[in-house]
Amino acid sequence: MSDQTQPGKIIIDTDWKEQVAREKESLRSAPLNSPGGDPADLPDASQEFREELPEASLLVLIINMATQAMIALGQVPDPIQGTADVDLQVAKFHIDMMGVLQQKTKGNLDAEESRYLESTLSQLRLAFVAVSRSS
């Protein structure tokens, strides 16, 4: 039986290795946060991700902060670890940050933004109490 027909055997060609080496080198030579770095030079997968990002807005900020709080409350699995772990201290931090946002923007939000922030913050506070009682 040849090496290529053995089950479970991984065969990596040199073209693939060379391509990976070139991509790593291009990433090293032009870090994402370098001044003057052109985002168009990013690999295709990163370019596709950037195109899917929503337009920056207060509602997107609220959703982002609420998602972080929900991850910390164990309501949503952590996207990196894939687990739903509870960390009340982190959850409280994110909820408190949303409270600061609410206080500092009072009187400067339109009706939809104000309702959304109030509703999201209320729901997170209730979830925090429920999770802390069950822990």
Residue 65 Cα distances to 93, 111, 125, angstroms: 10, 20, 13
| Residue 73 backbone dihedrals phi, psi, to 5 degrees | -85, -5
Residue bearing the bigger pLDDT, 3 or 128: 128
Residue 33, burial from CB neighbour count under 10 angstroms (0-12, 13-18, 19+): exposed
Q: What is the pTM of this model?
A: 0.61
pLDDT average, residue stretch 6-30? 56
Model pLDDT, residue 92: 97
H-run or E-run covering 39: none
Q: pLDDT per residue over 19-49, tens digit each?
A: 656 665 665 665 444 444 555 554 555 555 5
Three-point CA angle 108, 99, 79, nearest 5°:
110
Task: Give the domain ranges of the chain.
Answer: 14-52, 58-134
Question: Helices 58-72 and 111-134, interaxial angle, to 10°?
Answer: 0
Q: pLDDT per residue over 86-98, tens digit each?
A: 999 999 999 999 9
